[in-house]
Structure 1
């Protein structure tokens, strides 16, 4: 409306009001997709797949041809999963469409610790069968690369589906949803005591003793079904059981909640599927633009450090993205409170006892494995490196003890650096568009090559010629010292259907 006002010289010159424009667009959309919402959705998916063969989607229908379940993931999402898919967060509590279908985004953390999307699903119901279909579709899109960990809202059907489809994935329940149930089922002082069992970093035996005392004090019986069920699931929510496990410091699905709150703007429950899709893509576009802006800052600036800062702090400022630098810096700042009290050497293994200067009972064992004079691996008893992919203050204490001013490579997780996306790294030393231009060239080459490969495969002679030509390019790249071999992540898939028109009738 603002553009029309400027073009016509004022609001009174346009000839309509904002509501008229809204009604016109709404009626236009209605005429286009009325009665064909699911069909239009799948036509859109087929068009995306034809444009980009790395775009992935799957759907299922019932016996009458009605759309039941849908999952899709574009090329960038699949590359992002290759780089950041260690922990996946998702829930199905979000419903903003006229059909009241659960909208299930698969969420993670990128190298700036911001929300990144791996895929999106829409299911017809919250049954084990629907969730199993969704999880299988997700794995198919990600080349059967299972996530290490997953955080969910605790839906019973979802828990069972994860156990069957992702049996080796570490599963924890969202603390935010647990908190909502705690407030629903418990009252003080029972609520306060249960929170202690949830959030305090007890040892496992301490938690078990505390649980027995809790049951005895409040007379918990089998009739208290929610509390009994929570005890059965204690390994999926209690800090005593989840500490040290790989969840990148996340307790809840706040990443999904954050995306949902963004999606909620200008959405309502009368919205059709295609409207939801279009608005969702707009939100994703904004997220990617924000990530690109953070990439520019991270690649062309170095976080500020004081002249008197610890040499280790100055070193990590060149390694991590700005957000993660602040987290690692916090561990270095706490160095002053810890000291190495004991060192034991056994061949290539060295054990360090790191003790708090004021609370002597606070003691952590750190083990270092050396290859020659180089530290090859470090393990601390607190397991922060294993659970959050950043070195703890106890590890930094032993680095200071052995006289290192630089952090060893074994302590740097690539996912928190600007090299997290190896296939198309964000090297913007000259142009802020360098990354996207390289991706465009890759897409153009890939699409043309797919057609050529398909034709060449009909002839053994042609196939050999093409293979020889490709090998010559690969060999040339290997002989170039300035060429970095890329780890590409998800690459062209499902070409056989990429250029076909979607013809199946779905309602």
Structure 2
């Protein structure tokens, strides 16, 4: 699959399924504690240097430097470590469960013994069901207004009007977290302004948010918006 993706879809980034990786870690390492630490290294939103330090600590702590499976999987870190995938758009998907869920839905409507005409008939029923779910989601998004829960009510209300209800409920916790962010400094360039954002004004972690004047675009060094399609709390703190 990896070779086919590189040949047919050269502009994409192949990502390994997190669920399968954790299952393989459990099978090969036989240690729930190791699997838990491995999961943290894989899914933690760390900088590259932090990831490498955590990985080295993990290997040394469990004494698995010579474990063949672990060494092979580390060679593929660009396909599973969050710090190397950051900025690649996956819409929040980490596993193949979405695809497998579709396969399961098809299996509920179609059976192996169906002939071609029966398969088409029941497949059309499945498409009708999916279309109904889409219309229902749109209806839920248009019906009523969710209760505002943040102190940035105008921005929250705008998000409620712009996003579908399901995406809005994903966005609101990010909006709440933005209240802990502080702009501690900024720097003006030719056609842009770079804002330096910290959590509770502590300089342990600093994110750079760049606003480009002529393009009316805004980006953040965490690159979560590029990865998930939803603004991060650092950008929101600058906009607010």
TM-score by length of 2: 0.85
Q: 1:336 to 1:193 in 2, by over 3 A?
A: closer
User: Is 2:94 the partner of 1:251?
Assistant: yes
The residue that corresponds to 2:65 in the other structure is: 220
Alignment partner of 2:45 out of 194, 201, 213:
201
Are positions 1:263 and 2:103 aligned together? no
Unaligned runs of 5+ in 2: none
Question: How much is the aligned-residue C-alpha RMSD, in angstroms?
Answer: 2.6
Closer, same or farther in 2 for the Cα pair 1:172/1:358, shift >3 Å? same
Residues 293-314 of structure 1, C-alpha deviations (whole Å, 9 max, x = no match): 2223334544443696521112
Q: Is 2:155 the partner of 1:312?
A: yes
Residues 196 and 207 in structure 2, CA contact (< 8 A), matched pair in contact too: yes
Residue 240, structure 1, aligned to residue 240, structure 2: no
Residue deviations 1:370-400 (CA, integer Å, cap 9, x gap): 13xxx70101111121111111111111112
Q: Shift of the alpha carbon at 1:343? A: 2.0
SS of structure 1 residue aligned to 2:148: coil
Structure 2 Cα separation of the partners of residues 386 and 220 of structure 1: 35
Residue 399 to residue 209, structure 1, CA distance change in 2 (3 Å): closer
Q: Distance in 2 between matches of 1:177 and 1:219?
A: 20
Which residue of the partner structure matches residue 298 of structure 1?
A: 141
With over 3 angstroms needed to count, the CA separation of the structure-2 counterparts of 1:211 and 1:356, relative to structure 1, is closer
CA contact (8 A) 2:150 2:176 kept: no
The 1-side partners of 2:143 and 2:11 are apart by 40
Q: Distance in 2 between matches of 1:195 and 1:330?
A: 23
> For residue 216 of structure 2, what is the aligned residue in structure 1?
376
1:173 positional shift:
1.0
Question: Match of 2:218, SS?
Answer: strand
Deviation at 1:196, TM superposition (A): 2.9
Structure ranking higher in helix proportion: 2
Tell me the equivalent position of 1:407: none
TM-score (norm 1): 0.43
Match of 2:21? 178
The gaps in structure 1 that reach 5 residues or longer are 1-157, 401-507
- Asked if structure 1 preserves the Cα contact closer than 8 Å seen for 2:15 and 2:80, the reply is yes
- 1:280, distance to aligned residue in structure 2 (A): 3.7
Aligned equivalents of 2:185 and 2:120: distance in 1? 59
Q: Quickly say closer, same or farther: Cα 1:324–1:191, change in 2 above 3 A.
A: closer
For residues 56 and 181 of structure 2, what CA distance do their matches in structure 1 show?
35
What's the CA shift string for 1:140-182, capped at 9, x where partnerless?
Answer: xxxxxxxxxxxxxxxxxx1221122112211101111212212
For CA contacts below 8 A with separation 6 or more, give which structure has more relative contact order.
1
How many equivalent pairs are there? 237
Are residue 397 (structure 1) and residue 237 (structure 2) matched?
yes
SS of the aligned residue for 2:193 comes to strand
Task: Label 1:179 to 1:196 Cα distance change in 2 as closer, same or farther (>3 A).
Answer: same
Q: Deviations over 1:72-114 (max 9, x none)?
A: xxxxxxxxxxxxxxxxxxxxxxxxxxxxxxxxxxxxxxxxxxx
Give me the whole-angstrom Cα distance separating, in 1, the residues matched to 2:170 and 2:101. 21
Cα distance in 1, alignment partners of residues 204 and 174 from structure 2: 20
Following the alignment from structure 2 to structure 1, what is the Cα–Cα distance between the partners of residues 7 and 166? 36
Deviations 1:403-425 (A, max 9, x none): xxxxxxxxxxxxxxxxxxxxxxx
Residue pairs, 1:330-341, within 5 angstroms: 330-341=173-184
1:235 CA displacement: 0.7
How far apart are residue 215 of structure 1 and its match? 4.1
> Comparing 159-168 with 352-361, which one deviates more in the overlay?
352-361
SS of 2:11's equivalent in the other structure is: coil
From the superposition, tell whether residues 218 and 258 of structure 1 become closer, same or farther in structure 2 (CA, over 3 Å): same
CA contact (8 A) 1:248 1:387 kept: yes
Q: Work out whether 1:192 is the aligned partner of 2:41.
A: no
- Cα distance, 1:356–1:206 mapped onto 2, change above 3 Å: closer
What are the equivalent positions in structure 2 for 1:462-481 lying under 5 Å apart?
none
